[in-house]
Structures are given as structure tokens and as C-alpha cells.
Amino acid sequence: MEGLRIMPIKVTADSRCPINARCIWAGELRAKVKVSQKGHQRTLELVQGKPADLGWATVELVDALPQPRAGRKIAPPYRLKFRVERRDRMIPQSR
């Protein structure tokens, strides 16, 4: 989308299941982001797998790297992956 920017501010929660563990719950990933386009800005808290409605499109937090590992704390920065969907097409965004 022309001029669309998604700027990660902070990962506010990361309880994802470590890749070297077995979990009964997948956990949750949340991130605060600033979305801007054509001079308009909006701050959102996105939850992985739950699209947020922007009116003209939706934005979804898809994944984050690095993946958690049991017994290790993740050191910032995270690399977040987003999906933006307009009414007529889907455009993946990485930041």
C-alpha cells in the first residue's frame, strides 16, 4: 500500500511456546505499533493472529523473531512480521 508505514514501538507481551519445548498453550504475542499513511497516524496494540481494523484495511501481527527458547531470555530487538489486507488484496509487510 502506497505510503503505508508500520513502526514497531514495543513488544508488550511474549509468552509464545519455546521452540524447544512442548506446550499445551501456544502462548501470546502482543506488540504496540504506530501505523501511518498519508499524514494520518494511529497507535495500536496488536495481538498475534487477531487482525485490527483500520477502516480501509486490516493489519495483523503474524510472527516475531527470534523465536523463544526454553531457559533463555529474548534480547531485543525483535523482528516483527505483519500482514496488511485491503478489501481487494493482501500485502505482506516485514519490519
Domain boundaries, the chain: 5-94
Q: Is the dihedral of CA 71, 75, 79, 82 positive or negative?
A: positive
Per-residue pLDDT tens over the stretch 10-48: 999 999 999 999 999 989 999 999 999 888 899 999 999
What is the pLDDT at residue 92? 55
Per-residue pLDDT tens over the stretch 41-95: 999 999 999 999 988 889 999 999 999 999 888 887 899 999 999 866 555 555 5
The count of other CB atoms within 10 Å of the CB of residue 17 is 15
Query: Which residues partner with 14 through β-bridges?
Result: 29
Q: Is 38 left (phi over 0), alpha (psi -120 to 50) or beta?
A: left
Cβ atoms 79, 62 nearer than 8 A:
no
- For the entire predicted model, the pTM comes to 0.81
What is the pLDDT at residue 45? 97
